[in-house]
Amino acid sequence: MIKPKEIKSLLEREPRFEDSYCSIQAIPKMPTIQLKEIRALVSYARRFNDEVVRPLALKADLRTYQDPEYLPWDLVQKVNDWGFYTMFIPKFFGGQGWALPGLNYVVEELASACVGIANVVFVHYLGFGTILASWNIPLVNKICREVAEGERTGNPCLITLAITEPGAGTDVEEVELVDRGKVTCFAEKVKGGYIVNGSKIFISMGHVSRWHGLVAYTDLKKPSENTVMLAARTGMKGLTFGKHEDKMGQRACPASELIFEDCFIPDENVLLDSRTMRKSRLRDTGELVNQIIHYVVEASRPAVGAFGTGVARGAYEHALKFASETAVDGKLLINHEWAQIMLAEMYKNVIAGRLAYCEANFSNSLKGGIFNFLQVKPLYYYLKYIPQFVIDMFFVPFYKLKLVDWFFHQVYVEGQSLEAQKRCSGWSSIAKFFGTDMGMKNSQMALEMMGQAGLRHDHGAEKILRDSKLLQIYEGTNQLNRLNLFNCLIARSVPQAHVFEEEQEVKKC
Ligand SMILES: Cc1cc2nc3c(=O)[nH]c(=O)nc-3n(C[C@H](O)[C@H](O)[C@H](O)COP(=O)(O)OP(=O)(O)OC[C@H]3O[C@@H](n4cnc5c(N)ncnc54)[C@H](O)[C@@H]3O)c2cc1C
């Protein structure tokens, strides 16, 4: 029997405890009111699904086949009117400031009705997360205030992340791999800013967004040590849009090409460059870029896991409805044992996908993760009840002080220990590849159960399968995420294990 006085020594003996049970560590730090808020958010998302998403999902998908030039401006307008683009932006920056850990539950809800439209809403937060991770407070504030203004005036302002290039996809997601990729987006430092040349592809919502968190390189031969992150604005001279992809799924959400031709981006739009790095305690540029990439994906990958969980749920709901209404061999399908086993398996996949992204959320809410930002007691309560005008009057004037962005940078980017980063990043990868694999699995099972009926466009099930596949590819392919999990949570306890090795070294082995 364990005696109470033994608890302390038992915990000390278990250094990896936080890896396995993130929620146990995090829950006591979370404000209880968040639970109510998150339930209210989910309920709001369900209303949005009923009134906007479900009536539009199939129509938007079909329209992109009929009209390849179609861009979802009307949809963006509706999302803007419903307030989704400022929902999770902190009040510090003029947003509504709802609990950030609520984001993934809302993501799942929307994705259960249409993951393409869910992406029209949420890829904006990938862009937001990227600019926030720089902790360049005046710039973050400027961009977020434009988003808020866009919501007030009915003129939507969205943010993207532009990292993928024609010759480098997986490679640009990991600092250890980037030198192997064929990156071509070149940023030349000139007086007062950077001149950018090159292109980015597959940028979700590129054509309909106003701000783009752009990753470029000042030396294409050694990009890992010469990365800059800039905020490009639609309308800047030298930034144009090429084609948007004719892809198999998530067709409501365009994937755009961004072309930079002698595009001048002023110093005030620099999110990260060598000057930011000079004030960093991190050893070198690669280390800081690595830290920032992980900081962003720690939040964005669980969100993609929530997309996958939502898809898995949508597929399950289609299969359940079909089984409840269709007779096979003289009795309803739902009363055949094999169908019951399949439905039970699909149900389990949804629940397990949700548990994975919840644990990743909790891991992120512990010291250092992006969700930690303003979500812990007592700051959360304080901000919740303080009126917006007080923030605008007494906080915003100080944002220009260098000390402010230095402070946030120290607390959030550099304040996250390597150990905490590995835990958050490892968990974010688990949530991503598990949730999206479950999405794929359930959509296949739904089609198996539905037979020819599942293949008809008007039933919606085949669209779920097409939409689902894309989730396994973006936000780091599922292969890359498995490697990242190995790197973050497995390799550290096995000294002879090496991940992302140089090709020559692999050959030598
Ligand atoms: C719908 C959609 C939306 C997207 N939105 C955005 C966006 O908003 N912004 C953005 O910047 N990008 C976006 N992307 C791009 C996305 O991030 C890339 O597609 C992804 O990183 C994979 O790169 P790739 O497609 O070039 O595949 P590749 O890198 O060419 O990979 C091909 C295959 O090789 C495997 N592979 C590659 N390298 C390794 C390795 N070292 N170890 C093991 N396996 C490896 C991959 O897992 C994959 O199976 C989007 C993509 C899609 C499909």
Task: Give the nearest ligand 1 atom to 123 CA.
Answer: 8
9 occurs within a structural domain: no
Q: Are 64 and 125 in the same domain?
A: yes
Most confident of 167-171, 291-295, 316-320, 421-425: 316-320
Residue 264's domain is classified under what CATH number?
2.40.110.10
Q: How far is CA 289 from the centre of its chain?
A: 17
Shared-domain flag, residues 147 and 238: no
Confidence of residue 367 (pLDDT cuts 50, 70, 90): low
More confident residue, 439 or 226: 439
Q: Kindly state whether residues 328 and 417 are assigned to the same domain.
A: yes
- Among 286, 311, 345, where does a domain finish? 286
From the CB of 170, is ligand 1 less than 6 Å away?
Answer: yes
- What are 144's two structure tokens? 């977020």
Task: Tell me if 433 is assigned to some domain.
Answer: yes
Domain that holds residue 322: 16-156+288-509
**8 lies in a domain?**
no
Per-residue pLDDT tens for 239-265? 999 999 999 999 999 999 999 999 999
- Residue-wise pLDDT for 396-429, tens only, equals 888 888 888 788 777 777 777 888 888 889 999 9
**Do 238 and 299 reside in the same domain of the chain?**
no
Compute the C-alpha angle 468/470/472, nearest 5°. Answer: 85
Token pair belonging to 107? 């993501």
pLDDT at 508 over 50: no
- If asked whether residues 121 and 149 sit together in one domain, one would say yes
Tens digits of per-residue pLDDT, 108-167? Answer: 999 999 999 999 999 999 999 999 988 889 999 999 999 999 999 999 999 999 999 999
Does 1 map to a domain?
no
495: domain CATH number? 1.20.140.10
| Domain assignment present for 196 | yes
Distance 477 CA to ligand 1 centre (A): 6
Asked whether residue 277 carries a pLDDT value surpassing 80, the answer given is: no
141 CA from centroid of ligand 1 (Å): 31
Q: Ligand 1: which atom is nearest the Cα of residue 180?
A: 41
**Same domain, yes or no, for 67 and 202?**
no
Residue 479 CA: nearest ligand 1 atom is 47
Predicted pLDDT at 395: 84
With contact defined as beta carbons under 8 Å apart, do 469 and 359 qualify? no
Distance between alpha carbon 328 and the CA centroid of its chain, in Å? 42
Last residue within a domain, chosen from 249, 271, 286 = 286
Residues 270 and 308 in one domain: no
Mean pLDDT throughout 361-375? 76
Query: Do 373 and 489 share a structural domain?
Result: yes
Task: Please report the DSSP string for 174-188 in residue order.
Answer: -HHHHTTS----EEE
Residues 6+ apart with CB under 8 A from 287: none
- For residues 92 and 169, state if they share a domain: no
Three-state SS annotation for 72-131: CHHHHHHHHHCCCCCCCCCHHHCCCCCCHHHHHHHHHHHHHHCHHHHHHHHHHHHHHHHH
**Domain annotation covers residue 301:** yes
Higher-pLDDT residue of 493 and 450 is: 450
199 Cβ closer than 6 Å to some ligand 1 atom? no
Residue 2 lies in a domain: no
Total domains present in the chain: 2
Query: Does 4 fall in a domain?
Result: no
Domain boundary among 286, 315, 339: 286
Please give the pLDDT value at position 504.
Answer: 46
Candidates 119, 126, 170: which one to mutate for ligand 1, based on the most atoms within 8 Å of Cβ? 170
| 48 Cβ below 6 A of ligand 1 | no
Within this chain, do residues 332 and 442 fall inside the same structural domain, yes or no? Answer: yes
Ligand 1 center from residue 461 Cα (angstroms): 25
Amino acid at 173: E
The percentage of the chain sitting over the pLDDT mark of 70, rounded to a whole number, equals 94
The response to whether residue 204 sits with its C-beta less than 6 Å from ligand 1 reads yes
